[in-house]
Amino acid sequence: NFHTIWYNMFDQVELNDPNALAAKGNLVYVANNDPEHNILVFEYMTDSVYSYPARMSTGSDYLWAIDLDDAGRVYVTQTPDANSVGKVLIFESIANDPSWGSGLPSAPLHTITMPEPGGIRGIAVDPSAQAIYVSNYTARKVYCFTGTPQTGYTLNPSFSCTIDDMKIGT
């Protein structure tokens, strides 16, 4: 019955089914599935890990994966269920969006809608943010989206990756 609480003054959020984390510098971002599906931020210090006074409410859909680019922008996957179309939400960095410190929701810079239904799980972002790779667990595919945080992203038609079960070794 061990529970971790993120807190900032009187603002408290219990960690609930966190699936992934990403780090930049000494900050650790957690895709949390509390009722507001917050991205919680912690600070890693020499003696422990502490709550950092920044969080972002993302809405009602389940969060699975999270990554950051070199500019500190946050990319998080949302998937309501395996039969629905998932999304990637892209949020501005803590340094450039004061909503992180208030705990209030902020509109994402961009929302990428997946091309087909399925459980959206993993995400990997090119450090320069020109390519985003997203896995669809149900469809057994990896998608590549290219673009920029300023102009948005489109599905890269020259990238194709389907995952098949295979036996490795004997």
Give pLDDT, residue 4.
81
Give pLDDT, residue 119.
93
> What single string gives the DSSP state of each residue in the chain?
----EEEETTEEEE--S--EEEEETTEEEEE--STT-EEEEEEE-SS-EEEEEEEEE--SSPEEEEEE-TT--EEEEE-S-TTS--EEEEE--GGG-THHHHT-----SEEEEPSS-S-EEEEEE-TTSSEEEEEETTTTEEEEEEEETTTEEEE-TT--EE--------
What pLDDT, in 10s, does the model give residues 17-32?
A: 999 999 999 999 999 9
Q: Please, which pLDDT band fits residue 81 given cuts at 50, 70 and 90?
A: confident
What is the distance between the alpha carbons of residues 113 and 86, in angstroms, rounded to a whole number? 6
Task: Count the alpha carbons within 13 Å of 29 in the hemisphere toward its beta carbon.
Answer: 28
What pLDDT, in 10s, does the model give residues 86-116?
A: 999 999 999 999 999 887 789 999 999 999 9
Which of 109, 151, 108, 116 minimizes the C-alpha distance to 134?
Answer: 116
In the predicted model, what is the mean pLDDT of the chain? 92
Q: Please, which pLDDT band fits residue 80 given cuts at 50, 70 and 90?
A: confident
What pLDDT, in 10s, does the model give residues 139-169?
A: 999 999 999 999 999 999 999 999 886 655 5
Give pLDDT, residue 170.
52
Q: Which residues pair with 152 in a beta bridge?
A: 148
Give pLDDT, residue 157.
95
Q: What is the number of other CB atoms lying within 10 angstroms of the CB of residue 52?
A: 20
